[in-house]
Each structure stands twice: as structure tokens, then as C-alpha cells.
Amino acid sequence: MIKYRLSQLLTTSIGLSYRVFATLSNRLCSMYQEEGAILVSGAPRSGTTWLYEILLTLLEYRDVFEPLNPLWSPRWRKICYSRFELCSILGTAFRPYLRIDEEDFKTWKYLDDIFNGKVFTVNAPPTLVTLISKGYSLETRVKDLIKTSKSILGFPLVKVVRGNRLLPWIMRRFKLRAAYMIIRHPCATIASQLRTGTGVPRLSVNELKKMLTYEVLRIEELSKSVEIVKKLEQISTMIEALAAIWALDYYVPLCYQRYGWWHTVVYEKLVLDAKKELKNIFEHIGERIPKEAFIALRRHSRTAWVRKEFVEDPKEVLSKWKKKLLKEDVERVLKVLSWFELNFYGYEIEPNYKVLKSWSCE
């Protein structure tokens, strides 16, 4: 715990220096245009940082890491607390949601500044975190430091784990170069959340049930919200509560996947069929695959909470949740998903790709 607190302190210190330097450099260059910005979104522990670091091998892009974390952006914290009732209660575990036709100038203006390169969060970018993390070679540290200094003036590459429920609203209003949503097996995601504490609300299960009821009733896309609210009363464990949160994180954007506003990346497919998926990711923005992308593909992300720098056997990586969760826990997760009719993930390590691609809330 002491080491973790120290790491947080160092990260914040580096981030403050980075923010000052980035702000000064931004004044020396012309205004960024949102048409060049890229957004990466997903649930906590779903592989967003990994995908983000793969895309950061494009030299013209720079880090914009978690601008929807109220701890790292005082401006967003002020908006979040005043605009969204649960933000002050859930803190960093809060996910903003707006109806697709809802107008919210303050949220729009903040995101507009993000996509135009005018906002810098107080956390350190992932490339600088490498300097204080264990398990990375000197060569990797030096390369990442050079990458940060070179890309400080680039287009924003924005990564969020709190933006899925806001994703359709964002894509309806902003003309970004591209957006990516990554999805990972809920059992793997939840097992990682429990192991690291990331994305786990600091509330009791009963308190979370009240929060979830409030969220479900206000999400317009949930046509069966009354039925789901009744089923939420069955929740008795944190795992079930986290499964409901995961379901809401993906239910909203999947309702709009038919519009093609973003490119969906399936974590399991990226692990097992890496080269093909890498090609699809970069073809989506009309780019050739940078050589460094293949290295980033094999490397654990800086937020992976592992000592090794490079990924071990892919199938072993994908099946870890089967060892971490009890059989009854897996059954609980799948039961909750069935309430939302999210039936493309099951006991296998991969989803039913056909069902996922054709899924609709209509």
C-alpha cells in the first residue's frame, strides 16, 4: 500500500510538470482541430490502455489520458459534481450519461476543448509512468521518454474508461478522425477489477443497488427498465453489482453500433488474431501499421499490474479469469447479463462474434 501511494504521488508530480510544459507548448502552436483527434473508450480493465498505446505509435499523436476522471481534471470534477447527481457519491467509479438528443453546453464545451488539444489532465501520461514502473528495460524507458517529448505537440489521442455511456452522445456531436470501443469478457474484466480495485465503487452492495436503480431508470435506451429494476433486487454480491455496471457500460453504445460511428475492438480477438486485428485497427484510419505497433501489441500495458514487460501465451492470458473466479461467480455474472439480454458472452473465453455484431436493443 505504501509503495502504491508513493507511486501515485510520483505519477501526479510528473503529471503536473507535464501539464505545465504541455500548456506552454500549446500556446506556441496553432489550434488543434477535432477532425484529427482519436478517442479510445471501454470499461475499466477492458484493455483500453493497451489499445491506446498501440495507437500512440502514430508519431503525430500525444497522450490525453483519462480526462473524465474527476480526480485528474479539476474542471471536469466541477462539471461532473454539478451536472450529474451521482458523481460526488461514486467519484472515480462514476460513468456520465446523456440522452443522445440532450443538450449540455458545459459538457460539450469541455469535450470540445479536449478534442481540440486545449485541456491537459494532472496525471502523468503512460509513457512517463514507465519511468517509475518495475519490469521495463532501459531501452523501453528511453524510447518512451523520447516519444513523449516528440509527440507533445501532436493531435489528441484521448483514452477514457468512463465514456461508454456517453459515446453515442459524443459521436453525434463531434467530427473526430476516429473512435474505438474495446470490449472484453465481463468475467475477465470483473476479475481484473477485483484484483486491482480499479473501477470498484467504494460502496456497500445495498448502496450500489440504489445507485444502479437510479441509473437504469434514467437510461432512455433501456426499454425494459422497470423489469430490470425488479431483478436488481436480487443482487447480493459485489460481483453481481459489477456485472450490472459492465452491462450498462456496453448496453448504451451497442444500441447504436449499427450506425458505424466507431470501430469496435474485441479484446479476445486482438489477443488471438493479433496481426489481422492490428491491420483492421489501422485501416480504419487509413494508416499503415507502424513497426513499433507490433512491439506494443506484444507488450503489457503500463496499467496491467504485472511485472513482465511482454505478454505470455495468449490463451493463458484469456483464460486467467477461470482460475480467479469461482464457478458460482461466473454464473452470477452471466445471470445479470441475461437481464439485459447481452447474450454474446458465456463460459467460453471468446464471445459469439456473430451475435455481438448483430446485437440490437430494438
Is the predicted pLDDT of residue 23 greater than 50, yes or no?
A: no
Radius of gyration of the chain measured on its C-alpha atoms:
20
Is the predicted pLDDT of residue 9 greater than 80, yes or no?
A: no
Report angle CA 221, 97, 154 to the nearest 5 degrees: 125
- Give me the chain's average pLDDT, please: 84
Highest mean predicted confidence (pLDDT) among 8-17, 140-149, 167-176, 219-228 = 167-176
The rounded distance, in Å, linking the Cα atoms of 197 and 141 is 26
The cell for 66 is: 483519462
- SS3 of 261, please? coil
Q: How confident is the model at residue 298 (pLDDT cuts 50, 70, 90)?
A: confident
Higher pLDDT, 55 or 26: 55
Higher pLDDT, 300 or 86: 86
- SS3 of 10, please? helix
Higher pLDDT, 156 or 7: 156
Higher pLDDT, 11 or 326: 326
Where are the alpha helices (H) located in the chain, listed in sequence order?
A: 2-28, 48-55, 74-83, 87-90, 105-115, 126-129, 138-151, 167-173, 186-196, 205-218, 225-232, 238-254, 267-272, 274-283, 291-298, 314-318, 320-324, 327-339, 353-358
Sign (positive or negative) of CA dihedral 265, 246, 311, 296: positive
Q: What are phi and psi of 62, to 5 degrees?
A: -130, 165
The rounded distance, in Å, linking the Cα atoms of 357 and 272 is 18
Long-range CB contacts (within 8 A, 24+) of 328-334: 329/187, 329/237, 329/239, 330/187, 332/237, 332/239, 332/240, 332/243, 333/186, 333/187, 333/190, 333/239, 333/240, 333/243
- Pick the closest to residue 107 from 30, 61, 63, 162 (CA basis): 162
Q: What is the pTM of this model?
A: 0.84
Across 161-185, average pLDDT: 97
The rounded distance, in Å, linking the Cα atoms of 140 and 124 is 17
Q: What is the pLDDT of residue 210?
A: 94
The rounded distance, in Å, linking the Cα atoms of 67 and 158 is 8
pLDDT in tens, 146-162: 655 555 567 899 999 99
The cell for 270 is: 486482438
pLDDT in tens, 184-220: 999 999 999 999 888 899 999 999 999 999 999 999 9
Q: What is the pLDDT of residue 122?
A: 56
Q: Are 263 and 180 in contact (CB under 8 A)?
A: yes
Ranges of each domain in the chain? 2-199+260-314
Q: What is the pLDDT of residue 273?
A: 92
Q: 2-199+260-314 — its CATH code?
A: 3.40.50
The residue length of the chain stands at 362
